[in-house]
Amino acid sequence: MSRPAPRSEAARPFVLASQSPARRELLKAAGIEPLVIVSGVDESRVMGHDPAELASTLAELKAQAVLDQVAPGSLVLGCDSVLHFGHEILGKPEGPEEAASRWKRMRGNSGTLYTGHCLIDTEADRQIVRASGTVVHFAEVSDEEIAAYVATGEPLHVAGSFTLDGYGSAFIDRIDGDPGTVIGLSMPLLRNMLGELEIALHQLWR
């Protein structure tokens, strides 16, 4: 009885340079079991005028920050997200008041959530940086709903003060684009980035 050939990349460590549980779960759902190493990058100290470039820069900083902690041959992925709303680029809110104020401006309107991705192949000494964007249409929510949502604490820890995979999902009318981008990691984009490194995503399945 013949056995399938072993996957050449199966044993390579895949490092996620992010403490986001949502990003980790997206990878796990796609068959990748990441080793999480928190980068410690202070996102609030990095500024920019272009949301896609800012998200990409932050993702690159996160990935680069953990390189001295990873095993030889590791693949390292850094991600970061920002919301472009009106003329503002919004990361995580500073506190409950800011989160509530944002929601009062965002309700009934739309913004674009950008997620930057930086993938480093330490074996080949190659790096790829890409960004994806998804348009988010916010529901017309009441002040009471906003107060209740902020009280959960969920919007205090995420870019744009909302999530698509938690309490906040009920307050999003619809999106135009990849839902993973909004959650924090675009799996279709990651697949393409791996392809540029001549690595098939299925080779990383556990």
Whether the Cβ atoms of residue 57 and residue 69 lie closer than 8 Å to each other: no
Among 80, 121, 165, 176, the active-site one is 80
173 is catalytic: no
Residues 58 and 47: their CA atoms lie apart, in Å, by 9
Positive or negative, the CA dihedral 49, 51, 52, 55 is positive
Whether the Cβ atoms of residue 91 and residue 55 lie closer than 8 Å to each other: no
Residues 61 and 38: their CA atoms lie apart, in Å, by 12
Whether the Cβ atoms of residue 81 and residue 55 lie closer than 8 Å to each other: yes
Contacts of 5 (CB under 8 A, 6+ apart): none
- Active-site positions? 80
